[in-house]
Amino acid sequence: MKKVIAKVVSRRLFDGGYLRLQFESDEIAHAAKPGQFVNILTNPSLKPYLRRPISIEDVDNDKKTVSLLIKVVGPGTQSLESAQVGDQLDILGPLGNGFDMDSLAPNTLLVAGGIGVAPFLYLSRTVAGGSKEIFLHLYAGGASKADLPSWDDFHGLTATRKAATEDGSFGKKGLVTDVLKNDLGKFDPKQTTIFCCGPTPMMKAVFDIAIGCGIPCFVSLETTMGCGIGSCLGCVAQIKDQDDAIDHLRVCKDGPVFDASRLTWEGMR
């Protein structure tokens, strides 16, 4: 993990309030693994007070750049929206453990809700460039077409891709969890793993579907973080250990990806 002052090298706005920022950092690009995140001081003044954790969407090791897909929702992300090419950002990263690449099954289902799709691009690129024979299947959902800004970037990286939108403007009309449910019969549970990232109710629903089919399910959590580096214990997720005793693990340092069967889901927003 490093603290870097990194230059913004590209910036693209999408419909629906999505933003892709690309910054230059040899150190972070080189060290980053799929599912890790960076913690950005979005504004040197006090609004907002805390850094903002943003998952790493993609890495270009030739150009030594890292890209972030951001949904602009509050003061932190608004501050990032105002960043221009050439501006410098104070960034800590890469942080967290990311996805356990040893947990990839021959069929790995990537289930994304809205902005939760972000980390799956780098995961897909890493798997596509790797030597293991793994078939990735992307299931991406959103309220409408605008919530799938990176859909085209997955072209050629996954074996299959399915989309669902609540308004029917792209892919199947409805929830991505329903599309997933209909498809699960096709996969041998012993040869399948689900990686999921999205809103909490959606991840909980995906876990319930997965457990019903006996498929391992790993979820990438998002919480309010204080430090992002394991110090403040503010971002914890509540888990059950083997003896069913409750414990609290840091989303930033012990996660952000957890085996969903360990979570109590208590207090998750």
Partner 1 sequence: MADMRVKIGEYEFVNPVGAASGTFAYGIEYQEFFDISKIGAVFTKGLSYEPIIGNAPPRLHETASGLLNSIGLQNIGVEAFCAEKMPLLREANATVIANVFGSDADGYKRVVDRLEREDGLAGYELNLSCPNVKAGGISFGTDPKIVRALTAQIRSMTKRLVIVKLTPNVTDIIPIAQAAKDGGADAISAVNTLLGMAVDLKKRRPALANVYGGLSGPAIKPVALRVIHQIYQKIDLPLIGIGGIRDAKDALEFMVAGATMVQIGAQNYRDPFSTLNIARDMEKYLDDHKIPSVAEMTGSLIS
3-class SS of residue 59? strand
16 binds partner 1 per the rule CB under 8 A: no
Q: Which of 49, 82, 173, 186 binds partner 1 (CB under 8 A)?
A: 49
* 85 makes contact with partner 1 (CB under 8 A): no
Written as six digits, the tokens of 2 are: 């490093």
For residue 222, the tally of other CB atoms under 10 A from its CB is 23
- Looking at the Cβ atoms of 174 and 230, the one nearer to partner 1 is 230
Amino acid present at 61: N
Q: Does 30 bind partner 1 (CB under 8 A)?
A: no
CA atoms of 266 and 269, how far apart (whole Å)? 9
- CA distances 41 to 37, 38, 52, 53, Å, are 13, 10, 7, 9
x/- map, 98-137, partner 1, by CB under 8 A: ----------------------------------------
Tell me: does residue 182 bind partner 1 (CB under 8 A). no
CA angle 156, 157, 160 (to 5 degrees): 80
Min dist CB 232 to partner 1, Å, is: 6
Q: Can residue 38 be called a binding residue for partner 1 (CB under 8 A)?
A: no
- Part of the chain binding partner 1 (CB under 8 A), chosen from 30-38, 95-103, 116-124, 244-252: 244-252
- What is the rounded distance in angstroms from the CA atom of residue 27 to the CA atom of residue 3? 10
Residues that bind partner 1 (CB under 8 A): 1, 3, 41, 46-51, 90, 92, 223-238, 246-248, 266-269
